[in-house]
Amino acid sequence: MNTLKIDTYFNHKSDKLALYKSDPENNGSEHNHEFDELVIVEHGHGLHVINGKPLFIQQGDVFLVRGHDYHFYDDLGTLKLTNILINPNRHFTFLKNMEELLKPISASDLGSYIWLAPSIRQECNLIIEQLFNLDNTIGHREYLFFKLLIIIKQYKRQSPKNNTRYKLHLLLNHLQENCFDEYDWHNIAQRFHLTTRTMFRHIKQATGLTPENYIKRLRLLSARLKIRESDMTVTEISLLCGFINSNHFTTLYKKTFGITPTEERKVN
């Protein structure tokens, strides 16, 4: 697995923070880092596969990837990301107990993802622009980083529950958490106070896939990791990941990834 190095992404090893923007995001190979990164999705949508679990991300999402997390982006759209990199080898000069602010937005916990409305994201981007102005003192930069985290966390508590994008955020989180289970679309729509037709339209608009194909994509990405990293048989994996039988699973797998599960295991 590729490890992204501090030397590559920070101007100096002594820097606590660095900025990296991707337009579009093209890091589709699984990797980890020597640093943590606070990620803001500026544009597009895709699947963020972290520690083997695929999670849908869209414009406005914010999450923290730890250095020990292994992840990659499986694009359904064109992702544009802003990444604030945090060097764990350096301490903040003035800020203390920052872990208390960072821990609750860890990307490895599905419930920790935060969605920001466009006006709040714009406010955050203005702070980020100031944060990496080299004319600022260390104390001012740390103040701005603290301010950024406070705005993000306050908005999580105050987020507009009736906002359609926010409802979609919760709906997609629910599908991700339960993608291996049998599902009843009518019951899911009722749970999120939507008609089935409206729910299907929102899922298709957000992901570019029909609900059925979106679930299949989540299951296939999860299965691929198990193929690569476990000793389970293909049949065991197909059943665990919600497929009817191994033949159906193998057909879908080859159609999606270009090789069969057995060939995947040989390659890796």
The phi and psi torsions of 242 (rounded to 5 degrees) equal: 90, 15
Same structural domain for residues 138 and 26? yes
Distance CA 186, CA 172 (A): 15
Distance CA 210, CA 223 (A): 20
Alpha helix positions (H), the chain? 6-9, 99-102, 118-131, 138-158, 164-177, 185-191, 196-207, 211-229, 234-240, 246-257, 261-267
Same structural domain for residues 46 and 78? yes
Choosing from 124, 139, 158, the residue where a domain stops is 158
Tell me the pLDDT tens digit for each residue of 50-103: 888 888 888 889 999 999 999 988 877 788 999 999 999 999 999 998 988 898
Tell me the pLDDT tens digit for each residue of 186-230: 999 998 888 899 999 989 988 889 999 999 999 998 898 889 888
Work out the mean pLDDT of the chain and round it to a whole number: 88
Same structural domain for residues 19 and 120? yes
| Identity of the amino acid at 150 | I
Same structural domain for residues 189 and 225? no
Per-residue pLDDT band at 105 (split at 50, 70, 90) = confident
Same structural domain for residues 30 and 151? yes
Same structural domain for residues 9 and 45? yes
- Annotate 166-201 with b (16+ C-beta within 10 A) or e (fewer): ebbbebbbebbeebbeebeeeebbeeeebeeeebbe
Q: Residue 168 belongs to what domain range?
A: 164-209
Q: Is the pLDDT of residue 157 over 60?
A: yes
Same structural domain for residues 181 and 250? no
Q: Is the pLDDT of residue 117 over 90?
A: no
Distance CA 91, CA 93 (A): 6
Distance CA 228, CA 141 (A): 42
**pTM above the 0.85 mark?**
no
pLDDT at 127: 97
Q: Distances from the Cα of 20 to the Cαs of 117, 205, 254, in angstroms?
A: 22, 28, 35
Same structural domain for residues 15 and 39? yes
pLDDT at 53: 81
Same structural domain for residues 119 and 46? yes
Domain count, the chain: 3
Same structural domain for residues 28 and 84? yes
Higher pLDDT, 112 or 83: 83
**Under 8 Å CB-to-CB from 149, ≥6 apart: which residues?**
98, 101, 102
CATH number of the domain that residue 107 is part of = 2.60.120.280
- Residue recorded with tokens 């497929």: 243
Same structural domain for residues 147 and 220? no
Same structural domain for residues 14 and 112? yes
Sign of CA dihedral 24, 257, 255, 188: negative
